[in-house]
Amino acid sequence: MLFILALSCVIFLYIGLLTWIVAILALIEEGVFLLVIHSADPFAGILTMSLCLSVSILGAGAYSVDSLFFGRRRVVLSSP
């Protein structure tokens, strides 16, 4: 079951469809995976969780399906 969820998250993130929702879902899935499997080296899981968190915050890229549906999001930083 976790394999199918992880594979679908990878496919959706690769094409950029519903990016922030899928990234949060992948973050939760990886957390469950770390708690259930009890890996000897949790560094890879923690790294994956941090990458999912950053993708959920940043959103999809310029050439994603999300940008075609919802438009490109621009972050403008103002100077103090």
In a domain, residue 77? The reply is: no
Q: What is the tally of structural domains in the chain?
A: 1
What pLDDT score does 67 carry?
A: 81
In a domain, residue 64? The reply is: yes
Closest CA to 51 of 73, 32, 76, 24: 24
In a domain, residue 80? The reply is: no
- Kindly tell me if the per-residue pLDDT of 27 is higher than 80: yes
Task: Please give the residue range of the domain that contains residue 10.
Answer: 2-70
What pLDDT score does 36 carry?
A: 85
pTM: 0.77
In a domain, residue 12? The reply is: yes
In a domain, residue 79? The reply is: no
**Measured distance CA(62)–CA(74) in Å, rounded:** 10
**Measured distance CA(26)–CA(2) in Å, rounded:** 10
